[in-house]
Amino acid sequence: MADLLTDARALMRLERDLRDFMTCGDEEVDAGWFNDLALRLYRWHLEAIPAYAAFCAHRGAHRDNISDWTAIPPLPVTAFKQASLFCHGHERAAITFKTSGSTASKAGEVHYDRTSLEMMDLSIELNARRWLFPDDRRRRILALAPSRETAPHMIMAYGLHKLMDLFGTPESAFLVGPQGPDVSALIRHVEEARALNQPVALVGSSFGYVNLADGFAAKGLKIPPLPEHSLLMDAGGYKGRSRELPLEEFRALIGNIFGLTEDAMVNLLGMTELSSQFYDDTLSAIQQGKTPLRLKQNPRWTRTRIVDPDDTLRELPLGERGLMVHVDLTNWAHPISLVTDDIGVREFGGFRILGRAAGAESRGCSVTLEELAPAKD
């Protein structure tokens, strides 16, 4: 194989093949095609990202001794906090997203060049068309999240802008500013949408919804039920920024406030380090008249493996809990195989997130130094 760093044509071919793969429309694509693309990306990343190459070499993985995508060493997502993992120099970065919400003090940086952004845009569009807006109906998208202007390094803000551009009506708006959520604007938007019988798509972070609900309860506020065909998407978990609710309770609480059933709610798993997102199948299944499994779905250019924490190359059988390894071919300019600290399980028809890796527990009178570290300040 040609050296992708020095052979621009080979890189262009890879880009074209990846686009073809994503847009081919055939759900039952050849597994060999995915494998071929994954290995070509892996080899390019080895050439272009010294820190990643060193990590793989330490694992005994080189350019030519990996023949299956499952053997690509998964990089810990925390590596983005420690080193640059971009295929190019920083000057080629069109945009830099920062990780947030983790317990580590330092935020990680994920750089995107122009091609990376195009890949991510394509992924967002194809994914949302299938799992978020399967009825192809335009909606007033109300984002309970900050805009790109307010949070230029937040990947969620970028993604929501894309959704508004592609699927939103002109009235779509971001309803979180520097002062927090604008509740009166939200109520006004909902009343307007009801008057126009215009369906609404509420999109935002899980903790944002919970804080909103708590705020409503505290102030005795009520919001009119959303118009027909409205839906709600939540993402991002809680990250300690609100009280945490089990999924069923969350749906009941939020559904009650906005007058939505759980069949109009979808959850999304997205990460700054991944260019693609994972929706659950609720809205798509309902659209097709099926019973939703409420499991996360892999777009065809991604794979998710549930692995043994003691051996991240060993995939666990269905139903067994383990660490989650995601392989995302749209991670064009940064490593495609990443291991997260999420605990998940694979079931028939998708996967489910169950929680996060737990630290060394305090038990009784015993305490760890790490737990005391914040107390130093």
Partner 1 sequence: MKLIRTIGERAAGPLQRALGWAEGFPALSEWAESMACRAVAGHPWTTGPWRPAADALADGWSREHGRAFLLERLRRIHANAQRIESRYRGLIPRCATSFGAGFPDAPAVVRTAAGPGGPVELIQAQLTADRLEQTIRRLRGNGRAALEKFDLGRLLQVLDAASREWLRDSGDRDLAVEAIHRLGGFSRESVLWSMELEMRSSLAADMKRALAMEFPSLENLLMRGEGRALRHGPALLGAVFSSNIPALPHLTYMRGLITGSPVLGRCSSDEPVFTPLYLQTLARLEPALAEAIACAWWPSDDAALTQLLVSQSGHLVVYGGEQTIAHFHRLIRPGQPATFHGHRLGVTLIDAAQADDLQALGFDIAMDHCTFDGAACLSPRVVFVSGGKPQTDRLAAAIAAAMNTISSLMPGPLLGVEQRARRRVALDEWEFGGQDFISGASQGWVMLRTSGEWKASSLPGRFIHLHDIGRLDQALDLLIPIQRWLQNAALLASPEDAPRLAGRLAALGVSRIVRPGRMATPTMMWRHDGRPCLGDLVRWTDIRL
Closest CB 326 distance from partner 1, rounded Å: 14
**Is residue 282 a contact partner of residue 131, using CB atoms and an 8 Å limit?**
no
Q: Which long-range contacts (CB under 8 A, 24 or more apart) does 49-56 make?
A: 49/84, 49/85, 49/86, 49/87, 49/334, 49/335, 51/79, 51/83, 51/84, 51/85, 52/85, 52/335, 55/79
Q: Is 101 in the site for partner 1 (CB under 8 A)?
A: no
**Nearest Cα to Cα of residue 238 among 216, 193, 270, 205:** 205
- Contacting partner 1 within 48-67 (CB under 8 A): 51, 55, 58
Closest CB 45 distance from partner 1, rounded Å: 14
Rounded Cα gap, residues 241 and 267, in angstroms: 18
Q: 24 vs 354, which CB is nearer to partner 1?
A: 354
Rounded Cα gap, residues 97 and 152, in angstroms: 8
Given the rule CB under 8 A, which of 1-9, 292-300, 326-334, 358-366 is the region that contacts partner 1? 358-366
Residues binding partner 1: number (CB under 8 A): 39
Rounded Cα gap, residues 203 and 373, in angstroms: 36
Consecutive H or E run containing 204: strand 200-205
Q: 55 vs 351, which CB is nearer to partner 1?
A: 55
Q: 136 vs 361, which CB is nearer to partner 1?
A: 361
Within a 10 A sphere around the Cβ of 323, how many other Cβ atoms? 20
Q: Say which residue the tokens 């880009």 belong to.
A: 15
Closest CB 59 distance from partner 1, rounded Å: 8
Q: Is 365 in the site for partner 1 (CB under 8 A)?
A: yes
Q: Is 47 in the site for partner 1 (CB under 8 A)?
A: no
**Nearest Cα to Cα of residue 170 among 142, 149, 191, 205:** 142
Q: Is 372 in the site for partner 1 (CB under 8 A)?
A: yes
Q: Is 218 in the site for partner 1 (CB under 8 A)?
A: no
Given the rule CB under 8 A, which of 210-218, 232-240, 268-276, 349-357 is the region that contacts partner 1? 349-357
Rounded Cα gap, residues 209 and 202, in angstroms: 10
One residue of 10, 17, 36, 78 binding partner 1 per CB under 8 A? 78
DSSP 61-85: --SSS--SGGGSPPEEGGGGGTS--
**Is residue 121 a contact partner of residue 165, using CB atoms and an 8 Å limit?**
no
Q: 106 vs 290, which CB is nearer to partner 1?
A: 106
Closest CB 320 distance from partner 1, rounded Å: 9
Given the rule CB under 8 A, which of 78-86, 92-100, 130-138, 248-256 is the region that contacts partner 1? 78-86
Q: What is the CA radius of gyration of the chain?
A: 21
Helical H segments across 110-228, by residue range: 114-131, 155-167, 183-196, 206-219
Closest CB 207 distance from partner 1, rounded Å: 21
- Contacting partner 1 within 296-335 (CB under 8 A): 309-310, 312, 321-323
Closest CB 285 distance from partner 1, rounded Å: 29
Q: Is 12 in the site for partner 1 (CB under 8 A)?
A: no
One residue of 5, 24, 30, 82 binding partner 1 per CB under 8 A? 82
> What amino acid is encoded at 106 in this protein?
K
One residue of 76, 134, 152, 255 binding partner 1 per CB under 8 A? 76
> Under the rule (CB under 8 A), what is the footprint of partner 1?
51, 55, 58, 75-76, 78-79, 82-83, 309-310, 312, 321-323, 339, 341, 343, 355-373, 375-376
